[in-house]
Each structure stands twice: as structure tokens, then as C-alpha cells.
Amino acid sequence: MLNFFDESKYQDTVTVHEMKERVKKAAALEELRKIHAEIIPFIQGLEASGLSINNRYNSLNDIHDVLTRKAVSFAYDTTRETIGTAPGERYCFFSMGSSARHEQTIWTDQDNGLIYQTGHEDKRVVEAFAEEFSRTAVHYLAEVGYPLCQGNVMASNLRWRNSDEEWKDQLSSYLNKGSEDDLKYMMIMLDTKPVYGLPALLYRLREWFVQEIRQRPFILKKMAELVTAHEIPINMFGMIFTERWGKYAGRFDLKQGVFAPFTTNIKLLSLLYGEGAQSTRERIFGLNEKGCFSSLQMDECVAAYDFLLELRLAHSIDLKEMDDRLDYHLWLTTLDSKAAQQLKRTMKLTKLIQKQIKKRGTSFEQSAGI
């Protein structure tokens, strides 16, 4: 177990329950902002208590979940006061990415969307409420401590805010065209979690979407090609390649170099094998049950995943304490020999999983007669 923290400093910390109760009782954004600022000593206290990395992430992401839900509920109330009563309780504000997979660290930017039903009300009224609600929710989340997504994957962007029927039309368009951007948007939509509103709206859309993908072998093949085209920056001799140019020259991109490829590969394998879990850990276990991974491979994947979670969490704390911007570039020289070797094993494992995806993608191609 890697030990990144000074355990002597964090012996008397609040419990998860106490943090969540404070969030639930909060009456203003300022209170939520203060609680968000206390996440570092909170998670360091959990480390000092000896909790496993899985339990620490569960606790941390539980706090993120209640903070996000409370901020969005404030936004909903504000929208009702601003433009009038909402036309029915038929909205679902949802998260994507690391939040949906329960992998958020100390801080993370926003990845969210909105789905709603129009019903018998004036469509313009419903859309006006949805737009204002989304804009306010994104603003409130930023005020609490969740930065705007640089890629604009947020409910304030019309691409990520639609009625249930419009969502189906949009996703059908992605499925039919299958461009590289379309594939990326579809991959994003495979990681979703309801935050506030009516969860059934999101669950129905996701179930329909996954069924539609699995009925299109050529889309599964294209997804496999997209995922496996990503080069893992390590050669056959175990040499890890760092950034060559720019601000982060000489540093290793932990997110794009291994974490994102690892979780994305597991996500796609889960789709290919019909595994419906949402978190990476549950997907790994499910792939073992589906016969994709042996018990040994499953254990290797879990060990690699836990290592990456530990590394990401420690790095995010270091950045926050230095008040640096959100990024996951690190100096490899800061890793001890044990961590450096585990990083190499994890990167090589990710490359092996890519090969498994290529093989599975080829089987879809052959079954479809492409």
C-alpha cells in the first residue's frame, strides 16, 4: 500500500455521515462551498484511519454526490422562482464521466446533461425552463467548487440538454453516421448517473441506447478501433514516454497516458460482453463472470485499478494544496521504485486489454459479414 500522507495531522476528522448531514441541512451555496473546501482534511483523515482505497473513493464520491445534488436542487428552486412553476416533475439532471463511475478525486470539472419530457404543456415553456435550470445548475456547481468543463460537456450546452425523444434522435444520428466525434459522444453517454429529478428518464434512455448499439456490429467495430488506436506511452523494454513539448515537458500524463485508456477499455469490453455495470470495479468483476477475464486477470485488473486510484488521489491533493490548476501530469522521479514498477505493469496490462478488444472487435466484424 502506497502511503502519501502525514497520518499524525489528521486524527480527529468528521465522519462521512456528519459531512452528508451538513450538506443536507445547508441553506445556501456558501455553506456548500465551505464543505467542499474541507474535503482534503476529510479524505486525509480516511487515509490515516487505514481504509482501503476503494472505501476512501466510495466515501469521497458519496460527499461529491450529495454536494452536487444539493447545488442542483438550489438551482431548481431558483429557476422556479425566476420563471415560474416548472411544467411537471419530468426532468433528470445527470452526471457523466468520473462522477458516474464513482471515480472523482479531490476536485473534478463538470460533465453533466439534462433529459426532460414535454408532455402536453407548451414545448417552448418546457424548453425555456430546462435551459434556465441547466444554466443555473452549471453556474451553482462552479460556485461550489466544480470547475466548468473545458470541452463544454455540460447541460448548459444544447448538445447535452434534450427532451427524451430529442435524445433518441440525436443518439440515432450518432449511431447512423459513426464519425470519430459521434463515437466519442456515444462513449461519453455510456457513463451516466442521475443526480436530481426523475431517474427513470435516464434509465430508459440508457437501456434503449445500449440495445441500439449492440444491434449494430459495425458501430461496435468502430468503437473498438477508436479505443485501441490510442497509444499507451511505454515501449517493449518498459521505457515510459513523457511529454516532449510545452508546459508539461518531461512529465507523465497520468490521465491520458494510462487512467483514461484503462477505464475506457474496461467500459468497452463491458459493452462488447453485455456487462451492464456502471463503475469500473464492478465492470471488472462482471467481465470475470462473463468469461472475459480469468480470476488471475481479474485480480491483476483490480490491483492495477486500485494503484491508479491511489496515484490520482494523492496527486490531486498535492495540486489542491499548491492551489494549482486541475491536471494529472506528474514527475516520474517522485515515484518510489515499487510504484514505478507497478505503473509499468499497469500500462502493459492496458495494452494487453487493447489487444483483447481488437480480437473481440474482429469477431463482431466477421459475424456481421463486414
Return the pLDDT at 323: 56
Averaged pLDDT of the chain: 89
Return the pLDDT at 5: 31
Q: Which of 146, 156, 153 is nearest to 67 (CA)?
A: 146
pLDDT digits (tens, 9 = 90+) for 104-143: 998 788 999 999 988 766 788 889 999 999 999 999 999 9
190: how many CB neighbours lie within 10 A of its CB?
A: 19
152 Cβ neighbours under 8 A, 6+ residues apart:
none
Return the pLDDT at 187: 96
Return the pLDDT at 12: 41
In this prediction, the residues of the chain whose per-residue pLDDT falls under 70 are: 1-14, 87-89, 120-121, 320-326, 361-370
Return the pLDDT at 50: 82
Return the pLDDT at 110: 95
Return the pLDDT at 320: 62
Return the pLDDT at 365: 57
Cβ-count burial 242-258 (b if 16+ within 10 Å, e if not): bbeeeebeebbbbbebb
C-alpha 87 chain-centroid distance: 31
Return the pLDDT at 260: 96
In CATH, the number for domain 8-215 is: 3.30.460.10
Return the pLDDT at 321: 56
336: how many CB neighbours lie within 10 A of its CB?
A: 9
- Domain definitions of the chain by residue range: 8-215, 223-368
Residue 194 pairs in a beta bridge with 94
Fold of 223-368: Four Helix Bundle (Hemerythrin (Met), subunit A) (1.20.120)
pLDDT digits (tens, 9 = 90+) for 146-181: 999 999 999 999 999 999 999 999 999 999 999 999
Return the pLDDT at 322: 55
